[in-house]
Amino acid sequence: MRRVEDDIAYTLLTHDEIYDKVHEVGRKIAEDYRDKNPVFVGVLKGCFMFMADLIRCVDIPCEIEFMAVSSYSGTSSTGAVRIQKDLKGDINGRHIILVEDILDSGITLNYLKNYLKVREPASISIVTLLDKPARRQAPVYSDYHCFEVPDAFVVGYGLDYNERYRNLPYIGVLKPEVYS
């Protein structure tokens, strides 16, 4: 029986490295947002592991919401962002922290940031687990990120390829023969 690990070329970030950095970033966000009662908005599905760990490190009053969007087909962005699940609550005057697994092309986060701005939040910031600046196509940057990664196809810790590999407790580089 084939295991998901068989498709991984190498481990880019171990579970312990991720854990330590997520806690560091969570503490920084808590410090920056003390007395602001932010709303963490997770971008599904990829953010779920990162957001769960991050929110446990934030020791301030806060709320969580989720949005579901799609813009990928296989290994690349289609350039067209579709909102599949929108926010339920009013964010007018609130401090919004968008939580995303990876900032890659920037198309999705740029779209979401502009989409949410019309609801007049007090602020919008972005926190990502991974930042891949080599692939940036839109003028958007993370206010907080845990790791900058090279231009490789990464999976694990919530990140997927065709809905697989999210369950890996680390981030690995997918073997090219799996997706080519």
* 141 burial type by CB count under 10 A (0-12 exposed, 13-18 middle, 19+ buried): middle
CB 130 within 8 A of CB 99: no
DSSP-derived 3-state class of residue 106: coil
Catalytic position from the list 53, 104, 131, 160:
104
- The answer to whether 98 and 125 are in contact (CB under 8 A) is yes
Partners of 115 in the β-ladder: none
Q: Please provide the size of the chain in residues.
A: 180
**C-beta of residue 116 within 8 angstroms of C-beta of residue 91:** yes
The whole-angstrom separation of Cα 76 and Cα 167 is 21
Concerning whether 131 is annotated as a catalytic residue, the answer is: no
* Edge-to-edge order in the sheet of strand 8-13: 8-13, 171-174, 154-155
Residues noted as catalytic: 104
